[in-house]
Every structure is written in C-alpha cells, then in structure tokens.
Amino acid sequence: MNTVLVGAQWGDEGKGKIIDVLTDKSDYIVRYQGGSNAGHTVIAEGKKRVLRLVPSGILHDGKTCVIGNGVVMNPLDLIEEIETLRSTGIEAKGRLWISTRTQMVMLYHRALDKAEEAARPEGKKIGTTGRGIGPAYAAKVNRSGLRCGDMLAENFLDKVREQVEETNIRLKELGAKDSDLAIPGLVVENGQIDAAATVATYAAAKERLSPYIRDTVPLLHSAKASGKSILLEGAQGTMLDIDFGTYPFVTSSNPTAGGACIGSGLSPRDIDCVVGVVKAYTTRVGEGPFPTELFDADGRTLAERGHEFGAVTGRPRRCGWFDAVVARYAQQINGIDYWALTKLDVMDVFPKIKICVAYEIDGQTTRDMPCSADALARAKPVYEEMDGWMCETSNITRIEDLPPKAKAYVERLVELSGAKLGILSIGPARESTLRIAL
C-alpha cells in the first residue's frame, strides 16, 4: 500500500504530525519536493521536534527514510538536522538515504533568494522563507544545478567555485548589500560571496554526506516488489503549488500529489491512496491572496489557540475561517481519498463558526478556484454559519464522543470537500488523534 500525503491549504496543516501517525503502517517514508522551507512538527513521547528535510517518519525505529530527487536539499541544513536528531538519540545513518538525483540548495542560492526578494518592490514581494528554494529550482530547470551525485565527483569543488563567481555577477546586478545577505555560514564582503570560504564549506559537507547518497529508484522499487508500504510526504500545500497555487505567491515546486511520482521515481500506477491534510480553519504565511483572512478578535483567537507562528521562521501566520472552495479544489487536484482534519480543538471556544462555501468575484458567485491571484484577491467569501460547541474536544478518545455540534461541523466540512474522513486530530501530540479509516 503506497500513500501520498499532501497539504490541502497553504502549508502548515499538520503534515508532520499525520506522517508520524501513519508511519506505524509504513516501511519507507519519502520526501518528494520542497526543501528546508518546510517545518514539520512532531510531538511524541513528550518531545517536540521540527523536521525540515528528513522525513517525519525518522522518529520510528526500523523505518527507512528517503530524500527523493524532487527535493532541493541544503547539505548544511541536513547535516545540522542529522546532528540534532543524534543529540536526542535518533541515528539517521543507515536509515536515511538521499537520491543521487536530488538537487542541492547552496549558500549562493540562499544569497540570491534574499537579494531577489530585497530587490522586489512592495506589492511584488513573495515573502519567501529565504531558504534558497526558488533559485535552486530555477538552476535545476536551467540545467545548471548541482545534484547530490555531483558531490561525489572529483570536479565538484571546481563547479562550486564557478557557480559562486557566476552568482557574484548577478548579486552585483541586483545591488545586493551585506545586510541583505546575513546567512549563517556565508562569508560576504561588499555584496560579494567569498569563493574560497564557500569551497571549504562544501569540501567538509561532501565528507559528511557521502555515506547517505545512493540511487534510490532501485531501493524504492525493490521495496515495492517485496510488498513494503511506502508513504510519500509532501511539504508546503496545494495552494502553494507552482502550477495550481496562487501564482506568483507560491513556492517553486509541486507539492500536489502528481509531484510525488516526479519527485520519487515511483510511477502513478504505484499510488494506492492519497491523504489530504487540512486544518479546521485556514492559515497562510507570507504574501498573497487569502479570501477568508480575519483581522479581528476571531482571527487573533485562532492565532493564539493554534500557536500560529512559523515552525522554522517564527513568522506570525495569517488566520481565517475554513475555506471549502480551497478544500474542494485540493480534493480534485490531488485525488484525495481521505482527509486528515487537524486542529479541531482550536475551534472549541467559538459560539459561531463560519465556513466559506463559495466566492463572489466581480458580482458572480463561483465554487471554482480562480486562476489568477488578482481575481482571488477580489473574492468575497460567501459564508455559511454554524453553532460552535463551546467545550473541550482535546480529551476525546472516540469519534462518537464528540459534542454533537462539533460532529456536525466536521461532517459539513467533509461533505463540502468531497472525500471521506480518515483521521481527526484534536491536539498536537501523537496520542491526540482519532483514527477513523486509516
């Protein structure tokens, strides 16, 4: 049984938690896109961990984790993450493999990300995480990227030097200032990257990561042939997809389910099930349209109760009501079979709860997602209102024990969004999970 798990909104839906829960029925866990722009939180055995590149299944003994070819992997971030895991008793070596085809995010991609974002005028800024994701994917598509397999070749450090020199030309054009380029591990002077220091950094990284790199296509296909279960972990979310999201306010990869095959080397025929992770409300971090965004006390309540701050960047997340237009669109694009509905407990204190069921755009009512971010920015949500349940749900252990009004809210979300309920999450910890069909 091979399962793809995708975020159905603008990221941070609770994918890390749900991957951790589903890992007990999986043998291999594969990240298939994104990079260390992701922050996936897992709270297990009283410890909180935030994973950025390593699949969230690593916390379970005996499971094999793979960083697939669709990921853009920052070697320095990965080394740090492996060390952090080691310091808390989790050894990745021998259980974590990185595809030889995985593109690398280099320090100079991070520099470009920051300099390009600084150069964008107000209103055109994307609010990127500054992790070098856009420039690394741009280099991949431009066929100038370096892959993990290249790290093993003799001329790797020569290529790094060449790329630093090319990047310096671009940084000069962008008018980059040292203050724009404050990136740990990066040595800059007068807006220019120090090539020798960068080369030395990657010489060390090569030594550290070489044992983890291999061709992961035969690994996954032989796992499949021997009846193992593979869980494919998406990062970001459907509305941040480069093709289907709110372009240009998106990330540079395909978090949607189609990306799972491209980013792992499994074929579409190998996928048995798609799980969509969706919050009981909506959040977004960074710029871009967000029709149900709240700027009032209800929005602040969602942010406070949901601790809506970026898992990595600490940036406050924008909050709003559940948007069923988004969820229904995500169901269609990804072929979601089951929902993992998270953070229902955050809604425990609202006397009335709104659900957006359609948009009104330029006088027309629609349930379809507009293609343009400008049109979405003009969308006025058409709301349905339901009674809140006004009592705690986080201590419930059986779905039958949900307060009737909470049950009605969940049923309505599921009905509007067009897939079955697989998991209901009522707290951040592994235990606070009701498994209904998964």
Residues involved in catalysis: 12, 40
The partner in contact with residue 256, picked from ligand GDP, Mg ion, ligand IMO, none with C-beta cut-offs of 5 to 8 angstroms by kind, is: none
Q: CA-to-CA distance for 303 and 299, rounded, in angstroms?
A: 6
- DSSP strands (E only) in 244-372: 273-279, 282-284, 318-320, 322-323, 338-342, 352-361, 364-366
Q: CA-to-CA distance for 311 and 7, rounded, in angstroms?
A: 15
Q: CA-to-CA distance for 10 and 252, rounded, in angstroms?
A: 13
Identity of the residue numbered 187: V
DSSP 293: B
Within 329-348, the residues that bind ligand GDP by CB under 6 A are 342-343, 345-346
Q: Which residues here bind Mg ion, judged by CB under 5 A?
A: 12, 39, 311
256 binds ligand IMO per the rule CB under 6 A: no
Q: Please, which residues have CB within 8 angstroms of residue 393's CB and are 6 or more apart in sequence? A: 344, 345, 348, 402, 403, 406, 426
Q: CA-to-CA distance for 233 and 274, rounded, in angstroms?
A: 11
119 or 197, CB closer to ligand IMO?
A: 119
The partner in contact with residue 131, picked from ligand GDP, Mg ion, ligand IMO, none with C-beta cut-offs of 5 to 8 angstroms by kind, is: ligand IMO
Select the span of 6-14, 208-216, 360-368, 406-414 touching ligand IMO (CB under 6 A).
6-14
3-state secondary structure of 433: strand
52 binds ligand GDP per the rule CB under 6 A: no
Interface mask toward ligand GDP for 410-429; x: CB under 6 A: ---------------xxxx-
What the block records as the tokens of 285 is 């971090």
3-state secondary structure of 115: helix
Q: C-beta of 429: minimal distance to ligand GDP in Å?
A: 8
41 or 264, CB closer to ligand GDP?
A: 41
- DSSP strands (E only) in 188-328: 188-189, 192-193, 213-214, 230-233, 273-279, 282-284, 318-320, 322-323
> Binding ligand IMO by CB under 6 A: which of 134, 191, 258, 422?
134
Interface mask toward ligand GDP for 279-318; x: CB under 6 A: ----------------------------x---x-------
Interaction site with ligand GDP (CB under 6 A): 7, 11-17, 39-41, 43, 307, 311, 342-343, 345-346, 425-428
Interaction site with ligand IMO (CB under 6 A): 7, 10-12, 34, 37-40, 126-129, 131, 133-134, 235-237, 240, 251-252, 285-286
